[in-house]
Structure 1
Amino acid sequence: MYKPFRALLLISGLAIGSQQLQAQQLSNSPYSRFGIGDMVHGTGSIRSAAMGQIGVANGSAALINDQNPALLYYNSSVTFEAAVASELKRISDKNTSQIDGTGNLGYLSLAIPLSRRWTSAFGLRPYSRVNYVTVASQPVVGAENTVTAFSEYNGSGGLNEVYFAHGVRIANGLTAGVSGSYLFGTIDRQESTVLVDTEDSTSALQKTLIHTTSKYSGLMFKGGLHYRKKVSDKASLGFGATYAGKANIETDRQVAQERRFLDESVISSLVTDSVEGYTTVPQVLQVGLTFDNNKNWSVGADYTRVTGSDFRGFSLNKNEGRQELGDGYRIGVGTEITPDAGSVSSYLRRVTYRFGGYYGNSAINAIAQGSNAATVHDLKDMALTWGFSLPLGRGVRPPDYTQALLNTSFTVGQLQAKNTGLKEQYFRFNVGVTFNNRWFVKRKFD
């Protein structure tokens, strides 16, 4: 019982330590400038990532489903998971391109069955990520031939989520779940301007800068339902749905005006604003359908709706901030198969194989190239996914019925809006471990 969990603690420590990579390997994401960044909420575990981000109706006894709390009921043994997420991204327009990479904590989660009808889980995972650097230049009016203004916009940080969830069986085939989350984190944003005069080489280059730091904290709740019906000896249908309501998150914002040299040394700094208010995060609705053969194969599809128009930026009062986002959706399909989980002659037959893909519109409103008007353009997000669960050791072993898995997922995708001239192409790789163990097995002696 103890050996797997000693190994798990080691892997978890490595996963937490991987957050330090964030300071060294920055993956520039221009669209994370809007709202509270790239929202990770509504996505799931490595299993989900390998199957086109589906999971609302796909239960699993071996892996934790953190998309629909109602599916926690199917975790009949203590399950512990840790994962690390990495990304390689190429950003390009009509003239230039750049490649960046990043690695950080994917998630940590633990599920514990409290009775035959009730399983609880808690964990830590990202909710949103902010990381962008954008530079623009234009001549200064009145001195167009000699003076140029260089503007730089950059941001970093994001929100994290600690959640506590419960899944219970209500009736035969019908389960329900609820989760409560505490959101917290800090987002730093800077807007700076440098004036370059080609006729004055003796001037010391300085930049004026507005530095905004926002600290977030608040609660969010999600509910879920799942129904599974056996339609024959070799087939079952499942339906699931979740709803996370919009939430007003307390926000402490501080704004400072600074003057700096180009080496970032501060000349002067003045705090111009320090107030407390609210930011409203949007509601998310998910529905899913799955079909399986009651044994080793399943296929499913999910629909996710993010009501980004509910989002409101910082305001002194609830629900009164600036509307920065639009509504978005994602459609995902995926499948998984384990040829023979009990095979002793072939390791490859004990591996679980997953494939899928997704397509949708981001909640971000992109602006056409060369336009200052907030004209809405659909920001398309599409990808192909695949992955594996590799058994570690010799499989499930009594008396503790311990099982260990190495999980992987791969994603190749593209984010692009028509007429914006900007394209993001990304490759994501996630790796993690899962340990299953029965803590309350009654010992028997012959």
Structure 2
Amino acid sequence: MYKPFRALLLISGLALGAQQGQAQQLSNSPYSRFGVGDMAHGTSSIRSAAMGQIGVASGSGALINDQNPALLFYNSSVTFEAAVAAELKRLSDKNNSQIDGTANLGSLALALPLSRRWTASIGLRPYSRVNYASVSSSPVKGAENTVTSFSEYNGSGGLNEVYFANGVRIATGLTAGVSGSYLFGTIDRQESTVLVDREDSTSALQKTLIRTSSRYSGLMFKGGLHYRKKVSDKANLAFGATYTGKAHIETDRQVAQERRFLDESVISSLVTDSLEGYTTLPQMLQVGVAYDNNKNWSLGADYTQTKGSDFRGFSLNKGEGRQEMGDGYRVGVGTEFTPDAGSVSSYFRRVTYRFGGYYGNSEIKAISQGSNAVTAHDLKDMAVTWGFSLPLGRGVRPPDYTQALLNTSFTVGQMQAKNTGLKEQYFRVNVGVTFNNKWFIKRKFD
């Protein structure tokens, strides 16, 4: 096997261990207070992220498709991918704004053809992320002129997903796939209150804090279909669909009540609740259509519907619990083009160029500024995307049968709900490498 390919597999194994201890966060998002946080689309498949989040009907022989398991059939080579994700975000309202950002491991995936009709894949990627911090203040009833209550809300953590997927060819042009995922992770939330009496300067300020730590683990399943039909000598039309079922994942929740000084030193702590129960994650439906010239160009469009109203927060019984999300959708379009993959005279003609965009309504409900109550504001999410695949090394040629690609994607978008006064503007960058290698090839000698 190609030596760099083996080295990268070793590095990925170390990264898998490190990833388990990391929170899947990008940047501060007040909307991640709800459910199990922001769904982490756009931080896994770089190809999909560069093409407006599409991929249900758009197959690729060089890159792993993590949206529709039925499209794994088109990965006829052993394919390994690793990526990192970074985000710069600007939060603003009518009076203030802040800019922050960070980076994390984006995804790891390995696709392995097991026969001419069957390809399997295993990978690790983020499922959701929680990272928020907000403060509100209000006068205390009965002492409005002297005492002010400051409330602070913080959250961190998220869920990771380890998946095992399979794609098989059923008939000419028709493929099917299934994916099983193990979700795991921890989400910590804190709510604290500080009372400030402007007429009392002798007492040390303290805050009362309720800390909730929830550990999640459970299984989730997805099925997919794909059909590709030749409609002319230079054109193919494809259709794809996936369905992700509702998942009841086990949740261990511990609630503690604490008193702390403002320097975070603990005065007293008491565990008030420690229970085992369930959290219900919503079902999701995706459909897509794609058109290609069977050579170097393709165009696709996807529609995704997330049944967020199925979500139920922690409860002792399956399917119960608080409903705090709504139904969401996303429409995406994208295209990719490689001028001449076999060009010898021009490197840039071997580069694959991708462009796209998406528009949708998040399943996370927006909140009005200064309010903790969930309201019916629609949270719109829209962006433009682009990216490239840059060939590395010597390309595909004997005797190593190895091809390497440097993949990039860029996203500029915003999330905003009318009447909330809050806007998120984000810039996301994904960078990763892909190795394609022909295993189990019998060598021939003259």
TM-score, with length taken from structure 2: 0.97
Identity of aligned residues (%): 87
In structure 1, the partner of 2:336 is 336
The answer for the alignment partner of 1:257 in structure 2 is: 257
Check whether the contact 1:305–1:328 (CA below 8 A) recurs between aligned residues.
yes
- Structure 1 residue 6 displacement after superposition: 3.6
Partner of 2:67: 67
1:219-254: CA deviation from partner (whole Å, max 9, x where unpaired): 000000000001111000000000000110000000
**After superposition, where does 1:20-31 map in structure 2 within 5 Å?**
27-31=27-31
Verify: 1:115 aligned to 2:121, yes or no.
Answer: no
Q: Which runs of 5+ in 2 are unaligned?
A: none
DSSP 3-state at the match of 1:47 = helix
Distance in structure 1 (CA, Å) of the matches to 2:24 and 2:277:
32
1:199 match: secondary structure: coil
The one-letter amino acid of 1:157's match is G
Q: Which residue of 1 aligns with 2:133?
A: 133
Give the direction of change, closer, same or farther, for the CA distance of 1:22–1:167 in structure 2 (3 Å limit): closer
CA deviation digits over 1:4-59, x for unaligned, max 9?
A: 31442476378669869978997211000000000126975000000000000011
Partner secondary structure for residue 72 of structure 1: helix
Letter in 2 for 1:123: G
Q: Which residue does the alignment assign to 2:365?
A: 365
Q: Could you say what secondary structure the match of 2:54 adopts? A: coil
- Inter-partner Cα distance in structure 2 for 1:370 and 1:182: 37
1:172 aligned partner, one-letter code: T
Match of 1:2 in 2: 2
Q: Which residue type is aligned with residue 170 of structure 2?
A: I
| Offset at residue 207 of structure 1 (A) | 0.3
Cα pair distance change 1:4/1:397, threshold 3 Å: farther
Q: What's the offset of the Cα at 1:445? A: 1.5
Q: What is the match of residue 433 of structure 1?
A: 433
Q: Are the counterparts in 2 of residues 281 and 311 from structure 1 also a CA contact under 8 Å?
A: yes
SS of aligned partner of 1:387: strand
User: Shift of the alpha carbon at 1:373?
Assistant: 5.6
Contact 1:21 1:103 in 2 (8 A): no
What is the match of residue 51 of structure 2?
A: 51
Kindly state the Cα deviation for residue 369 of structure 1 after the two structures are TM-superposed: 3.8
1:223 match: secondary structure: strand
- 1:374 positional shift: 3.9
Question: Does 2:311 correspond to 1:346?
Answer: no
If the length of structure 1 is used for normalisation, what is the TM-score?
0.97
Quote the offset at 1:398 in angstroms: 1.5
**Partners of 1:241 and 1:43 in 2: CA distance:** 21
What does residue 177 of structure 1 align with?
177
User: Match for residue 380 of structure 1?
Assistant: 380
- Aligned mates of 1:270, 1:43 — CA distance in 2: 38
| Secondary structure at the counterpart of residue 167 of structure 1 | strand
After superposition, where does 1:306-321 map in structure 2 within 5 Å?
306-321=306-321
Q: How many residues align?
A: 446
Q: CA RMSD in A?
A: 1.9
**1: CA distance, partners of 2:364 / 2:192:** 23
Alignment of 1:151-166 (within 5 A): 151-166=151-166
Structure 2 equivalent of residue 239 of structure 1: 239
Task: Give the match for residue 211 of structure 2.
Answer: 211
Amino acid at match of 1:421: G
Q: What is the CA distance between 1:436 and its match in structure 2?
A: 0.4
Q: Which residue does 2:289 correspond to in 1? A: 289
Equivalent-residue separation in structure 1 for 2:105 and 2:337 (angstroms): 27
**Corresponding letter in the other structure for 1:156:** S
Is the 2:44–2:125 contact (alpha carbons within 8 Å) kept by the matching residues of 1?
A: no
Rounded to whole Å, the distance in 2 between the matches of 1:26 and 1:43 is 9
Matched residue type, 1:350: R
Residue deviations 1:321-379 (CA, integer Å, cap 9, x gap) = 11010000000000000000001110000000000000000001113346676431110
Residue 373 to residue 134, structure 1, CA distance change in 2 (3 Å): closer
Taking the aligned partners of 2:301 and 2:26, their CA distance within structure 1 comes to 33
Report if the CA contact (8 A) 1:18-1:105 is conserved. Answer: no
1:178–1:222 contact (8 Å) kept in structure 2: yes
